Amino acid sequence: MMEHFLDAFGLAFTPMSIAAIGLGSLVGLIFGSIPGLTFTVALALALPISFSLDAVPAIGLLLGTYIGGMTGGSVSAILLGIPGTPSAAATVLDGHPMTKNGDASLALGTAVIVSVFGGIFSLVVMIVSVDLVSKVAIGFGPAEIFALVLFGFSTICGLCGRSLTKGLISGVLGLMIMTIGLDLIEGVPRMTFGSVNLLQGVNLLVAMIGLFAIPFIIEAFSEDAHLPKTPKKMANVRPELPSFRLVFRNIWLMIRCSLIGTGIGAIPGTGGAIASFLAYDHAKRFSKKPETFGKGNIEGVIAPETANNAVTGGTLIPLLSLGIPGDPATAIVLAGLMIHGLVPGPALFMNHASEVYGIYIAVVLAYMWVLGLQLLGIRLFVHVLRVPREILAVVVLVLCVIGAYSIRNSAFDIYSMAAIGVAAYVLVAVRIPITPIILGMVLGPTLENEFRTAMMLSEGKVDIFYTSPTVVVFFILAALVIGLQGLSELRAKSKTKQKVEVSDA
């Protein structure tokens, strides 16, 4: 073990590999932080470059891009309310209000620090317990994943503000959008109206760009000329970083969210978005002041950002030990591993121990790069707020079109982004929250496919959903979340002397 670690140091601390990791982190940060662009595209660009590098620098480049992108996704989420990745969608909820309160750089600084904490924490968990965790992860069959996703879905309750009905409507709309296209299990076209373009379905990233960026643009374009363009507080950008006390006060929250992130990341086929929403919900539920969530509570930034970066370490477990990518981004990392002869599976740890440790070190290096680059970057990023909103919106418009197009070089994606975006604008205006849509879109396909596979496994018997303790635990958790929300809504309604119809919705 020791000699492998020494070898690994030799592999990871070459100038080439440090530079490759740095380049990856930088490119990832850029793509993650620019609204409209997503780091999945950045990874696709980095992959060919990695072919000509040695194994450790190559994987370092890819993981750097992944980690940089995951961290950078919070930047536009906080500054503009447009998440850079689906995993940063939960960060919008409190990060953007913080910007409106004039605390943009505090939110950004906190986000990067807790991201690094979450990432390193999960890496340590991964190194210490890869065997154990991968055994637990294997135990998650279709029924267990279905139950987990259902639990994740119950967090919608915490996201929908006053009206549970409206939140659920939004979530169901997200679920419906994702059923469009060819069904993955049987290959049946669904709601495609014979259109070739609809066959491939609505891309999650395209929809995400539309959902958050287009309302931003429309809002900016429809501001009245005689009203103040930007709230004064917002333009007044204080270069303020979080104090150690602030970070330390939330250390338990960070550890809990790191565990959530690592755990979710380790389960194949789930991913960062569900982790960040669960963490957000968790933080809100156990906060002393849950009513301040959604208005710029720093805990609402800490929780999802810690969790989604903890996923980066967690996801290495199924990636390296099982060869299962958690999302499209890690699928590209997997391709890089395969090309360099690092075929995932148990034999990887036997035959390529030095490279595996080298990859661990690369992750740490990537987080160091991200920390350094981002802390410098914050000084630049916040100046974006000084740009007049309508001019910024024009730039965002062009970037979004580039971003939507670059995902699969298809103009159809631009049209669907526009349509979804305008629909989202209308929904927001009638006070239907849009965050549950993205949650529905992220979880919908997994929910359906795992349920159907589970039923195939059990040959149609439903006992598969109550004989496994894991499944039962998640069902109970989901029921608790929904029940508690229903209760509190009931109370709120009776206070305003209204009849209650939605307690069991």
What residues from 215 to 244 belong to the interface with another protein (CB under 8 A)? 215, 217-219, 221-222
Separation between Cα atoms, residue 451 and residue 422, nearest integer Å: 32
What type of residue is 25?
S
**Which listed residue (15, 228, 460, 469) binds another protein by CB under 8 A?**
460
Our finding on whether 36 is near another protein (CB under 8 A) is: no
**Which listed residue (153, 277, 367, 405) binds another protein by CB under 8 A?**
405
**Which listed residue (4, 127, 129, 141) binds another protein by CB under 8 A?**
141
Please answer whether residues 276 and 309 qualify as being in contact, where contact means their C-beta atoms are separated by less than 8 angstroms. no
Mask for 329-368, x = binds another protein (CB under 8 A): --x--xx--xxxx-xxxxxx-x------------------
Our finding on whether 152 is near another protein (CB under 8 A) is: no
Q: Please report how close the Cβ of residue 251 comes to another protein at its closest, in angstroms.
A: 26
**Which listed residue (417, 441, 442, 482) binds another protein by CB under 8 A?**
417
**Which listed residue (183, 230, 234, 353) binds another protein by CB under 8 A?**
183
Identify residues 419-448 at the interface with another protein (CB under 8 A): 419, 421-422, 425-426, 428-435, 447-448
Separation between Cα atoms, residue 502 and residue 74, nearest integer Å: 34
**CA separation (Å) from 400 to 152, 416, 433?**
28, 12, 21
Our finding on whether 313 is near another protein (CB under 8 A) is: no
Q: Please report how close the Cβ of residue 364 comes to another protein at its closest, in angstroms.
A: 25
Q: Which pair of tokens denotes residue 393?
A: 């919106």
**Which listed residue (168, 207, 283, 356) binds another protein by CB under 8 A?**
168
Pick from 10, 153, 47: nearest CA to 445: 153
Helix (H) or strand (E) holding 189: strand 189-190
- For the chain, the C-alpha Rg in angstroms (whole number) is 22
Piece of 59-67, 254-262, 378-386, 397-405 that binds another protein (CB under 8 A):
397-405
Query: What three-state secondary structure class fits 186?
Result: coil
Please answer whether residues 314 and 122 qualify as being in contact, where contact means their C-beta atoms are separated by less than 8 angstroms. yes
Please answer whether residues 91 and 307 qualify as being in contact, where contact means their C-beta atoms are separated by less than 8 angstroms. no
Q: Which pair of tokens denotes residue 265?
A: 């990341």
Piece of 11-19, 258-266, 357-365, 491-499 that binds another protein (CB under 8 A):
491-499
**Which listed residue (18, 124, 127, 182) binds another protein by CB under 8 A?**
182
Separation between Cα atoms, residue 348 and residue 371, nearest integer Å: 30
Q: Which pair of tokens denotes residue 277?
A: 């929403």
Q: How many residues bind another protein (CB under 8 A)?
A: 124
Nearer to another protein, 243 or 503 (CB): 503
**Which listed residue (175, 254, 275, 365) binds another protein by CB under 8 A?**
175
> Among the residues of 89-187, which ranges form H helices?
89-100, 104-138, 142-154, 164-179
Identify residues 72-111 at the interface with another protein (CB under 8 A): 81, 93-94, 97
